[in-house]
Amino acid sequence: MKIKVAVIDEDENYVKKLVSNFQLNYADKVEIYAFPEYKAFVTFFTSNIIHVILLSEKISVSKEDIPAEVSFAWLVSNNAIKEWEGSPAVGKYQKMEMLYKEMLGLYADLKGKMILKSGGDSKYILFTSMQGGAGTSTAAAAYALFLGKQGKKVLYLNFDFLGNAENFFQGEGNTGFSDVIYALKSKNEKISIKLESIVRCDVRGVSFFASCKNTNDMLEVDTEEADVLLAALNGMECCEYIVIDIPMDFSPICKLVMEKYASDIILVCDGSDIGIGKIRRGFEVIKYLQQRDKSIIWAKCRLLYNRCQAGISHKLPEPQIDIVGEICSVSKMSSEKLADELKDHAAIISIGI
């Protein structure tokens, strides 16, 4: 279904350009109806459906006169303004993609039947580790970048409490995972559409959610909400592949991802004595869960050696699971550059494709 948006603005040139751009780029998703004054819109609205109203800040209208059954925002000249006279504000002069996301967000806030894009065929690939410092997040980001380079539509999802997607990816927008959590907590009826309005896009082809504004927000996500989030991502346009980064702590959310969603679980180890020891103990836990809960986690596991150093790193003599590759230690550089450097590494190109 198309989102029907009423734009009420006296600037005829601006409105013409806006309508033209949306017809060119979002004709299958948005219908825009333009009005030079509010009275003309009211006449149209009496016999037509409108989901979102964008009203110029220069037009004097009382909030009480805005129909309660639509989502409303002021259309303002200053893109930095996010609220005007107690209502949301949308910047006029921003990229069409960002303006479209704002429209999606407003539409998603309308009350109505919950929309979950379930039944999609997104592929979930989990990168995790029993040890810290193995470069799990870097390997996950590198793999997401590799998929993006291949023309795949990929989302990088960092579920680490202290994780930060902006270490690897940059994209325009002012939304983040705190907004995702708020949508989950408020049981937003159109959660898939709301997520699409929150996600950011890196120029290298990877979509991602920016980190929480307050790190403690991550503590508030429960297993049921994580399940709703992961289900809602399935089949979304940007989610042909979903690369998930989460520590293997066997928490309820970690187990949910491993058991219900992940098609491949990439266990990352640096080959150190400590790392090998933790991998072995982790194997014992996974096998125990398989016996106790009839879990299918073990069959999904693959092993990736990362940050390996000659003469220092070792390998399991009997790994018991497939080894997808080995990535040698790379000289120090920023996390973003390091992930970009590793994206073409042959060791990870066969995972999940």
Q: What is the pTM of this model?
A: 0.78
7-21, pLDDT tens digit by residue? 999 999 999 999 999
Residue closest to 275 by CA, chosen among 128, 65, 130, 111? 130
Q: In the chain, what's the furthest Cα-to-Cα distance?
A: 78
Give yes or no for a contact between 141 and 120, defined as CB atoms under 8 angstroms apart: no
**Count of CB atoms situated within 10 Å of the CB of 224:** 11
For residue 66, give both structure tokens.
């805005």
Give yes or no for a contact between 284 and 278, defined as CB atoms under 8 angstroms apart: no
Q: What pLDDT is recorded for position 7?
A: 94
Distances from the Cα of 345 to the Cα of 196, 203, 328, 329, 342, angstroms: 30, 20, 10, 12, 5
Strands 206-208 and 200-201 turn out to be antiparallel
Amino acid code (one letter) for 267: L
Residues 6+ apart with CB under 8 A from 154: 144, 147, 148, 205, 206, 207, 238, 239, 240, 241, 242, 243
Q: Which domains are assigned to the chain?
A: 3-108 (3.40.50.10850), 123-348 (3.40.50.300)
Angle CA 239–212–95, to nearest 5:
60
The one-digit pLDDT tens for each residue of the chain (353 residues) are 688 999 999 999 999 999 999 999 888 888 999 999 999 998 998 888 899 999 999 988 887 888 888 889 999 999 888 888 888 999 999 898 999 999 988 888 876 544 444 557 899 999 999 888 888 998 899 899 988 888 999 999 998 877 888 899 999 888 999 999 999 998 877 888 899 999 999 999 999 999 988 888 888 899 999 999 999 999 788 899 999 999 888 889 999 999 999 999 999 988 888 888 888 898 889 888 888 888 888 889 988 888 776 655 677 767 678 887 777 766 665 656 656 665 665 445 455 55
